[in-house]
């Protein structure tokens, strides 16, 4: 088994297992990884006091990756890429020619470079044939391409009854084009609502955000229901990390996740459609989440979701 880079959610798992005094081999077996991956991770990313703190470990790993020679291109190669884009060459064309003339660069790197430029307010994306969009307009019937998707028809009937704590719905709320998205989760019984900003509506960012958001509630996560957006392609990693089951609603059946749709409507009272999410801080999102969870809900007998969740989790 070869070494592989870890995501942030896995670092939270490692921290939890270390607190249980499990060995590296035991942790590796539970996570389906090589024990050398775990030992290398802890050795390289622990603090000066030799503690392993997942947030700091992830930050150290990202910094090391960004500073590695593999992730950097020489200035001439970047200039070559930008020149070719000005002639409206596709990333694949640029990568192909670059390899022939000594400016080696992958088309994936070029797409990422264009995206980062767009987030900063640049206009390189305008040189692309489809302005950077990787979708096609077509028929209303949505072709499901999510790997190993499990439909909502297989979801346990107890979820519909809303009698237990731990069944969640997930969705994403978009900001102004190119400024990121907000991942939102709501627990069906208590109506607890969680939100977090991600830089892009990508499967990897949404996957990591879901694990991070639910990690402290992992003992109260039985199921998660999502729509068929490609941002949920990482559902298997989420399910494994949280030891939960992920189900997908039917296409164009938003009522099957009606609670999350309703709460996202409340979110729009604070963050209007088309808002540049770069102007919204994490602290502002925390305050919005707190206010919504402290609103009395009629369906809860005018109790507050935060209070109901706390009461139910203590009783569980």
Give me the pLDDT at residue 266, please: 87
Give the residue extent of every domain in the chain.
8-68, 73-127, 152-315
Judged against a pLDDT cut of 50, whether residue 69 lies above it is answered with no
Q: What is the mean pLDDT of residues 58-70?
A: 70
Q: Which CATH topology does 152-315 take?
A: Nucleotidyltransferase; domain 5 (3.30.420)
Judged against a pLDDT cut of 70, whether residue 283 lies above it is answered with yes
Give me the pLDDT at residue 66, please: 64
Give me the pLDDT at residue 137, please: 40
Computed from CA positions of residues 18, 20, 21, 22, in that sequence, does the dihedral angle turn out positive or negative? negative
Higher pLDDT, 140 or 196: 196
Using the structure block, give the residue that is written with the tokens 């996560």: 221
Q: For all residues of the chain together, what is the average pLDDT?
A: 87
Residues above pLDDT 70, as percent of the chain: 91
Judged against a pLDDT cut of 80, whether residue 206 lies above it is answered with yes
Q: How many CB atoms lie within 10 A of CB 117?
A: 16
Q: How many CB atoms lie within 10 A of CB 305?
A: 23
Give me the pLDDT at residue 134, please: 46
pTM: 0.58
Give me the pLDDT at residue 119, please: 75
Judged against a pLDDT cut of 60, whether residue 149 lies above it is answered with yes
Q: What is the mean pLDDT of residues 298-310?
A: 92
Give me the pLDDT at residue 135, please: 37
How far from chain centre, in Å, is Cα 52? 23
Judged against a pLDDT cut of 80, whether residue 4 lies above it is answered with no
Give me the pLDDT at residue 297, please: 86
Lookup: tokens for 146: 């999510």
Judged against a pLDDT cut of 80, whether residue 131 lies above it is answered with no
Give the span between the Cα atoms of 225 and 214, in whole angstroms.
14
Lookup: tokens for 153: 């028809």
Give the span between the Cα atoms of 195 and 38, in whole angstroms.
30
Q: How does DSSP assign 108-177, residue by residue?
A: HHHHHHHHHHHHTT--GGGGSTTTT-------SSPPP--TT--BGGGS-THHHHT-SS-EEEEEEEE-ST
Judged against a pLDDT cut of 80, whether residue 63 lies above it is answered with no
Give me the pLDDT at residue 188, please: 96
Task: Read off the pLDDT band of 68 (50, 70, 90).
Answer: low
Task: Read off the pLDDT band of 140 (50, 70, 90).
Answer: very low
Judged against a pLDDT cut of 70, whether residue 176 lies above it is answered with yes
Q: What is the mean pLDDT of residues 157-170?
A: 94
Give me the pLDDT at residue 133, please: 47
């Amino acid at each position: 088994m070869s070494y592989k880079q870890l995501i942030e959610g896995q670092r939270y798992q490692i921290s939890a297992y270390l607190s249980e005094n499990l060995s590296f081999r035991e942790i590796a077996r539970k996570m389906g990884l090589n024990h050398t991956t775990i030992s290398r991770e802890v050795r390289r990313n622990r603090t000066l006091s030799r503690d392993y703190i997942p947030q700091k470990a992830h930050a150290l790993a990202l910094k090391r990756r960004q500073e590695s020679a593999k992730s950097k291109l020489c200035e001439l190669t970047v200039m070559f890429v930008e020149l070719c884009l000005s002639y409206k060459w596709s990333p694949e064309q640029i990568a192909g020619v670059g390899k022939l003339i000594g400016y080696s660069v992958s088309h994936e790197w070029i797409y990422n470079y264009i995206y980062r430029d767009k987030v900063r307010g640049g206009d390189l994306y305008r040189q692309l044939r489809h302005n950077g969009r990787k979708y096609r307009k077509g028929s209303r019937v949505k072709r499901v391409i999510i790997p190993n998707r499990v439909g909502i028809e297989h979801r346990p009937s107890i979820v519909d009854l809303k009698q237990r704590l731990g069944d969640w719905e997930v969705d994403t709320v978009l900001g102004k084009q190119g400024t990121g998205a907000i991942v939102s989760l709501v627990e069906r019984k208590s109506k607890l609502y969680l939100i977090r900003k991600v830089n892009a509506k990508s499967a990897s960012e949404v996957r990591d955000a879901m694990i991070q958001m639910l990690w402290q509630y992992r003992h109260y996560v039985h199921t998660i229901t999502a729509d068929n957006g490609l941002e949920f392609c990482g559902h298997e990693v989420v399910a494994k990390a949280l030891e939960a089951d992920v189900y997908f609603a039917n296409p164009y059946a938003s009522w099957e996740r009606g609670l999350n749709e309703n709460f996202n409507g409340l979110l729009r009272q604070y963050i209007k459609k088309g808002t540049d999410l770069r102007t919204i801080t994490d602290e502002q999102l925390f305050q919005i989440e707190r206010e919504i969870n402290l609103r009395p809900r009629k369906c809860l007998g005018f109790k507050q979701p935060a209070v109901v969740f706390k009461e139910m989790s203590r009783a569980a």
